[in-house]
Amino acid sequence: MSPPSHPASSSNNDDKAFVSMNSSPGTLLAYLPYKPDYTAAPRAPPDEIIIDIGTKAVDESRGRGRDWSSQGLMDRANESRAERPKAVLNGESRGRAIKAEPKELKEQRIKEVKEEVKALLKSTTNIRELMHYVDKIERLRIGYHFVNEINDDHGCKRVAEPVQCRVSRISRETILQEAISFTRGHLKSKANDLDSRSKRQVLRALNTPLRRMVPRIEAMYYIEEYMEEKTRNDTLLKLATMDYNLLQRLYLEELKDLSLWWKELDMSENLTYSRDRLVENYFWALSEYYEPHYSRARVMVTKYWTMLTLLDDTFDVYGTYEECKLLTDAFQRWDDQKAIDCLPIYLRGFYHKFINIINGFQDELEPSEKYLVSYLIRETQRLVDCYMQELEWHAKRQVPTFNERKKPAMDGNAGSIVVCGPLLGMGKVVTEEAIRWLTSLPDVVMAATEICRYNDEAISYEREKNAGQGPTTIACYMIEHNLRKYEAALQFEYFADESWKKMNRAFLRPTNAPVELLDRILNYGRMCSRDLLVGFTYGSKLKEIIGSLLLKPFSF
């Protein structure tokens, strides 16, 4: 998967501007296409915004030869914002300098265009035409502006569900499987006969079906493609580009705040072995919820996932059995000073900061939401127990069966990473009844977890093997079934596909959770595609997508 191409961006000058550095993408500096000016104001407009995080202290912590550091980081030195290359597309452009406007003015313009779209929907009486508009609104990812209009009882509701109900496979649906296989074969054979826009869409769908596509990435692709449509509606396109750019500004502000938080946390001094994955974790959060009203949720889950990355690396590649046993005990006792005193020096600061971050979430939640922290603590403790179980097998040189090995990997991740972390800051849509049901690990949660674990196991096998880890889930499967690595990887790909069918079936059943929450679980499965997981494990693979999402606005 690669971001949309920009004709001008392939020049030799551009290639020279992307300086290869042996540093981690833990700050947005790694993705900046221009040189930061650290003397600028901290809250500048989007075309002047400064991500004040590339300090010497942070950069120096990265030059330690860690195997997981990102390569080829983007740094367009000595190039001003106005000098960025332009990607012209039928009169429109992306990635060029856009005149800065006050945020309030942009919001007012969006409000005016929204009213035009509402009038368009209200005045459209032809069902086929209405379906066309609703489909474009959903594909352009501006549907959250028109929830009431789409769900009303006077037109749009009767077409919204058919538009959204695209073909999804479920288990034991052999006829549909045969139809999809037939269709895929013909699409592949005809792709080269299509126009460039249609060809891009077909090839992308063959690689990642729309049902499995991360919403924000799909919007990035589709806005550019919609610009090329001869029958495009300029009002919809105008709203989509304005909304995309305004959200991009919000994301940069969130990431700036997170980067300053990460810098002040200063975890690199003692945990030199760990991966710096702040930006990647923020991208993961953005993949779960891109809407502006989930800003708090994005920030909170990014902090949580980033600390879990450090915890995972401690158990996986550095901590001894005895040290990790003490760390597990400390997490079970939770914020017990005696437990802290027993930890090795290098883990005390990390543990203390981890506990303070989780406990501090209560200050960010409303009184009616504070109970969620207790669920998060419980699921974090379960995750740490699972990490310890895996390490115990390795320390005792035991090889569990495939089913024994995959259970802690699934159960530990499901409640903490898939459910409690992402839902923590979502607000009133999260109810205690819903969180109780989701932490009981129903099919929809387990399907998302399985998609992630099966894909990740196949991708990270070599890294974990080289790090001396074991036995991994895929290694246990290889031993149990006497398979070679590529054969096991193909089987895990099949397992992940079956889990997608489980996910689809779960969405067809009544549940105890609002669809708004289930969509976040679905998005977790979407962001765990093989392409994106490769990017997280080997950070440089994500730089183009993240750079495009955060740093290249659209112009119309």
- Total domains present in the chain: 1
Most confident of 17-31, 102-116, 461-475: 102-116
Which of 41-55, 293-307, 513-527, 542-556 is the least confident region?
41-55
Strands 92-94 and 554-555: antiparallel
Q: Is the pLDDT of residue 309 over 80?
A: yes
User: Is-contact 418 441, C-beta < 8 A?
Assistant: no
Q: Which structure tokens are listed for 54?
A: 């590339």
Q: Is the pLDDT of residue 391 over 50?
A: yes
The pLDDT assigned to 149 comes to 83
pLDDT confidence band for 461 (50 / 70 / 90)? low
pLDDT confidence band for 74 (50 / 70 / 90)? very low
Mean pLDDT of 285-303: 97
pLDDT tens string 365-387: 999 999 999 999 999 999 999 99
pLDDT confidence band for 170 (50 / 70 / 90)? low
Task: Indicate whether 140 belongs to any domain.
Answer: yes
pLDDT tens string 313-355: 999 888 999 999 999 999 999 988 888 999 999 999 999 999 9
Instruction: Name the residue with tokens 């290869």.
Output: 20
Task: Indicate whether 475 belongs to any domain.
Answer: no
Helices (DSSP H) in 153-233: which residue ranges?
157-164, 174-190, 196-207, 215-227
Stated as kind and residue range, the H or E segment containing 395 is helix 371-395
The pLDDT assigned to 89 comes to 32
User: Is-contact 289 520, C-beta < 8 A?
Assistant: yes
Q: What is the DSSP letter of 299?
A: H
User: Is-contact 298 286, C-beta < 8 A?
Assistant: yes
More confident residue, 31 or 417: 417
The pLDDT assigned to 195 comes to 86
pLDDT confidence band for 535 (50 / 70 / 90)? low
The pLDDT assigned to 104 comes to 84
Q: Is the pLDDT of residue 1 over 80?
A: no
Domain CATH code at residue 187: 1.50.10.130
Most confident of 168-172, 185-189, 505-509, 528-532: 505-509
Mean pLDDT of 376-405: 94
Task: Indicate whether 262 belongs to any domain.
Answer: no
Q: What is the DSSP letter of 335?
A: S
Task: Indicate whether 284 belongs to any domain.
Answer: no
Task: Indicate whether 82 belongs to any domain.
Answer: no
pLDDT confidence band for 181 (50 / 70 / 90)? confident
User: Is-contact 376 358, C-beta < 8 A?
Assistant: yes
Task: Indicate whether 504 belongs to any domain.
Answer: no
CA distance 370 to 362: 5
Of the candidates 243, 247, 251, 244, the one whose C-alpha atom is nearest the C-alpha of residue 51 is: 251
pLDDT confidence band for 553 (50 / 70 / 90)? very high
Domain that holds residue 134: 103-237
Mean pLDDT of 78-103: 44
Mean pLDDT of 220-242: 95
Q: Which structure tokens are listed for 275?
A: 């991966």
Task: Indicate whether 157 belongs to any domain.
Answer: yes
Of the candidates 64, 59, 36, the one whose C-alpha atom is nearest the C-alpha of residue 318 is: 64
pLDDT tens string 468-522: 666 889 999 999 999 999 899 999 999 999 999 999 999 888 788 899 999 999 9
Q: How many Å from the N-terminal Cα to the C-terminal Cα in the chain?
A: 25
pLDDT confidence band for 64 (50 / 70 / 90)? very low
CA distance 242 to 28: 23
Instruction: Name the residue with tokens 């960025």.
Output: 84
The pLDDT assigned to 383 comes to 97
The pLDDT assigned to 464 comes to 63
CB-neighbour burial class of residue 45 (10 A; exposed 0-12, middle 13-18, buried 19+): middle
How high does pLDDT run on average in the chain?
79
Task: Indicate whether 159 belongs to any domain.
Answer: yes
Q: Per DSSP, what are the bridge partners of residue 88?
A: 93
Q: Is the pLDDT of residue 188 over 90?
A: no
Q: Is the pLDDT of residue 41 over 60?
A: no
pTM of the model: 0.80
Percent above pLDDT 90 for the chain: 54
More confident residue, 420 or 42: 420
The pLDDT assigned to 105 comes to 86
User: How many residues are recorded in the chain?
Assistant: 556
SS (H, E, C) 379-445: HHHHHHHHHHHHHHHHHCCCCCCHHHHHHHHHHHHHHHHHHHHHHCCCHHHCCHHHHHHHHCCCHHH
CA distance 437 to 435: 5
Query: CA-based angle 142:241:26, to the nearest 5?
Result: 90
SS (H, E, C) 278-289: HHHHHHHHHHHC
Mean pLDDT of 217-229: 94
The pLDDT assigned to 354 comes to 97
Spell out a b/e string for 425-462, using b for 16 or more CB atoms within 10 Å of the CB, else e.
bbeeebeeebbebbbebbbbbbbbbbbbbbbbbbbbbe
